[in-house]
Amino acid sequence: MNQLSDGMELRPLGPELAEALGVLLLALAEAGDDRYFGPHPLTPAYARQLAEKQDRDEYHLLLRHGEALAYGMLRGWEEGFDTPFLGVAVHPAHRGQRLAEIVMRHLHGVAERRRASSVRLKVHDDNGSALALYRRLGYRPIGRAQGQLLMEKPLRPR
Ligand SMILES: CC(C)(COP(=O)(O)OP(=O)(O)OC[C@H]1O[C@@H](n2cnc3c(N)ncnc32)[C@H](O)[C@@H]1OP(=O)(O)O)[C@@H](O)C(=O)NCCC(=O)NCCS
């Protein structure tokens, strides 16, 4: 667990957080965010499945008083890749507070400790707020994949 200011904490996803993640996924679906954030179904049932799963990929929640404010993941290790793909989403009611940045910096640290030399992500060309955030955090375009911009950030493995 990683305690932050304002009563916020970062925790790896586990069965005890399935319900909180389910509420967040539903809010994302209701806001129409599946247009930009589509790594998996945005349903409470899928949240339960994910929370029970134990594999090499990482899923982390940013919480305050039990409510999931944001959610981030590093995937690809389970499939055998050395470079993980990062995904992040913030609850629609809590955007514009730089919460995605907190989750992403945390995930960069996780990836460094797991000796990844870089992290990648895909982003739609018209997702302006996400693009600005990724550039600010050091991601650079390296190509295209599945109709999206592919970006990469070098890390310093520890
Ligand atoms: C992209 C996303 C993760 C950014 O999270 P965030 O914590 O709100 O990011 P920031 O606080 O840095 O705000 C980013 C921009 O959003 C815009 N913004 C500000 N308040 C906002 C609000 N209430 N609602 C929506 N966007 C807002 C601003 O343009 C801001 O830019 P700034 O840097 O000039 O302030 C979040 O908007 C999100 O979850 N979107 C849906 C899922 C998604 O697109 N994920 C990324 C897939 S690649």
- Per-residue pLDDT at 140: 98
- What's 136's domain CATH number? 3.40.630.30
Q: Are 123 and 151 in contact (CB under 8 A)?
A: yes
Q: Tokens 């944001």 — which residue?
A: 70
- Per-residue pLDDT at 157: 78
- Per-residue pLDDT at 6: 84
Note the pTM of the prediction, 2 decimals.
Answer: 0.95
- Per-residue pLDDT at 11: 97
Name the residue range of residue 51's domain. 2-154
Q: Cα separation of 15 and 158, whole Å? A: 29
| pLDDT per residue rounded down to tens, the chain (158 residues) | 677 888 999 999 999 999 999 999 999 999 999 999 988 999 999 999 999 998 999 999 999 999 999 999 999 999 999 999 999 999 999 999 999 999 999 999 999 999 999 999 999 999 999 999 999 999 999 999 999 999 999 999 77
Residue minimizing CA distance to atom 13 of ligand 1? 96
Ligand 1 near 90 CB (within 6 A):
yes
Ligand 1 atom closest to Cα of 90?
39
Helix H or strand E encompassing 87: strand 85-90
Judged by DSSP in three states, 134 sits in: helix
Number of domains present in the structure of the chain: 1
- Per-residue pLDDT at 43: 97
- Per-residue pLDDT at 46: 97
